[in-house]
Amino acid sequence: MPDMLKIILKYAVIFLIVYLVYRDSKKKNIRYANAWIIGSLLFPPIAVAYLLYSTLASKEVVLSKKQKVDIEIRRRMEEHKKKIAIERKTMEKAKHAEEEKNNLTLEEIEKIRAERLAAKAKRLHELEEERKYQQEENAKRWRLGSGGVSNTNNSK
């Protein structure tokens, strides 16, 4: 009988430890609570490790006002940096698009300039021909053509 009492007492202590670990892990919302409960059931000395872990995990860090202000400043700076990075990317995209547009525009300008030069050369050639034609017409009208100077007044 005393052996049976030892075994019952041993299991009662183990279940008490498991129950305490269960209740504490649910109360403190400890990570891996199920693993700690099973570990305490299979190997009761793990409960001591759990107690150390739960006291460290449940401690809340109390920050001073200065530390809170520093954290807020850092958070705002990070947000500002992200915002600037996004703006920089959009500006780079806009700049790249504008450069492409300018390149197309420059190509178009060169094309138009070449067309204008060709049209100007053609017009100059036409004007030269027209001037020659007018000179010939004027020469015929005044009879200054190939026969020399004619005196129409002297023939009377």
Residue 151 reports pLDDT greater than 60: no
> Which of 29-33, 48-52, 130-134, 140-144 shows the highest mean pLDDT?
130-134
Per-state percent for the chain, helix, strand, coil, to nearest 5? 80, 0, 20
Residue 82 reports pLDDT greater than 60: yes
Question: Cβ–Cβ contacts within 10 Å for residue 2, how many?
Answer: 6
Residue with more model confidence, 25 or 126: 126
Record the pTM. Answer: 0.36
Residue 156 reports pLDDT greater than 50: no
User: Which tens digit of pLDDT belongs to each residue from 27-75?
Assistant: 888 778 888 788 888 888 888 888 787 777 766 777 889 999 999 999 9
Range 59-80 burial, b when 16+ CB lie within 10 A, else e = eeeeeeeeeeeeeeeeeeeeee
